[in-house]
Amino acid sequence: MSKPVNIVADIGGTNLRIAMNDESGNIQNLKTYECAQYASLRSVIDDYFELFSIDTEKQNVNACLAIACPVEQDLIDMTNLPWSFSKAKLKADLGLKSLHMINDYTAIAWSINSLDEWQKYKIGGGEVINHKPIAICGPGTGLGVANVIWGNDQWISVGGEGGHSDFAAINDVEIAILNYLKEKYSRVSYEQLLSGLGIEQIYQALCHYRDVDTNNYSAAEISSRAIDKTCDICLETMEQFCKTLGSFAGNLALTTASFGGVYIAGGIVPRFLEFFEESGFRRRFEAKGRFTHFNARIPTFVITESQPGLIGASAYLIQQNINEDVCR
């Protein structure tokens, strides 16, 4: 049988990126799919296999799929996409030798220590302390969260669903936003503000609070008008988004004492990096009362690498293959 084929994928609520890696973990044959154009995950993978002539009857194919939802059970129900499937059935139907499903932010966590300086951008002060915990969060279709800790002479990725923790308002404007969202939801999580939908909902809440007409702007239109300074409410919306993200990231830093750094991932923030750097993000990150000095020592970064999920999934798959070889 020919040399094994390693498949890696980063599956979000909007886009799916799938590729192959070589023995060194280098990403090859990358293709991006729009999830809404496909009825199932299998249909996407079938298309990719056909495109690159991958035949699981003649090749040993291993896969690591990073996906934006919990992965502990066999049945996978995506949080922001109407796809549902059994991991065991997917592996059997595709004829895979091995299938590893990990949370998309677990994959990003696996990528952190592989990133070079040009693949990340530092915001504010603080310095990385080696082998101290690292926290990752990222607004996109949803709000992903993960952590990385050092133990037993290796990095260990710890996933979670921290984006669904309760939103904590800290001033009158945020109380007004919270009250507006409570009319729509029985419970308001940080994801309801820190996501593409979240930007739109902050805008709508601020229009209501300021008693001005609401336009049917998308998140992209709101951010564009904010950067161009052609809409005061859009500008306030994006500033509020950055401050809320600062508070949330600062909470992560406090929770895990993340002196290895806090990293902002996701598809939103890298699109307006200069605005983000000049925003209130870092001030709110540090504004923790008696523990302001604590967070001021913790560095924050924006991941500018476009494919951290694939890099992390590749690193994870290589490690699993090594472990399997050792156990033989």
DSSP calls for 271-311: GGHHHHHHSSHHHHHH--GGGHHHHHTS-EEEE--S-HHHH
Token pair listed for 86: 């059994």
Q: Which DSSP helix (H) or strand (E) runs through 29? A: strand 27-34
User: Smallest Cα–Cα separation from 191: which of 216, 209, 172, 166?
Assistant: 166
CA 157 to chain centre: 14
- Cα distances (Å, whole numbers) of residue 214 to 66, 184, 199, 231, 234: 37, 16, 13, 12, 11
Domain ranges of the chain: 5-103, 116-304
Tokens read off for 258? 């993340």
Amino acid identity for residue 225 in this structure: R
CATH 3.40.640.10 is held by the domain 5-103: no
46 is in an annotated binding site: no
Using CB atoms within 10 Å of the CB of residue 28, give its burial: 0 to 12 exposed, 13 to 18 middle, 19+ buried: exposed
In degrees and rounded to multiples of 5, residue 236 shows phi and psi of: -65, -35
Q: Do 5-103 and 116-304 agree at the fold level? A: no
Q: How far is CA 174 from the centre of its chain?
A: 24
10 is in an annotated binding site: yes
Q: What is the mean pLDDT of residues 12-33?
A: 90
- The pLDDT of residue 321: 67
Distances (CA, A) of 249 to 32, 231, 287, 298, 313: 29, 27, 11, 11, 23
Structural contact between residues 194 and 163, judged by C-beta atoms closer than 8 angstroms = yes
Task: Place 323 in a pLDDT band, splitting at 50, 70 and 90.
Answer: low
Q: H/E element holding 11?
A: strand 5-11
Write the pLDDT tens digit of every residue in 182-213. 999 999 999 999 999 999 999 999 999 999 99
Is 11 assigned a ligand-binding role in the annotation? yes
Winning range, highest mean pLDDT, from 113-117, 255-259, 265-269: 255-259
Per-residue pLDDT at 327: 42
The pLDDT tens digits for 281-313 are 999 999 999 999 999 999 999 999 989 999 999
Q: Compute the average pLDDT of residues 17-34.
A: 90
* Spatial separation of the C-alpha atoms in residues 11 and 209, rounded to whole Å: 36
Q: How far apart are CA 29 and CA 20, in angstroms?
A: 6
Write out the CATH class of domain 116-304.
Answer: alpha beta
Whether residue 325 is predicted with pLDDT greater than 60 in this model: the reply is no
Q: What is the DSSP letter of 212?
A: -
Please give the pLDDT value at position 150.
Answer: 93
9 annotated among ligand-binding-site residues: yes
Q: Confidence band (pLDDT; 50, 70, 90) for 81?
A: confident
In the 8-state DSSP scheme, what is residue 232? Answer: H
The whole-model pTM stands at 0.87
Tokens standing for 164?
Answer: 């669904």
* CA separation for the pair 233, 177 (Å, rounded): 13
Is 213 flagged in the annotation as binding?
Answer: no
Q: What's the pLDDT at 328?
A: 45
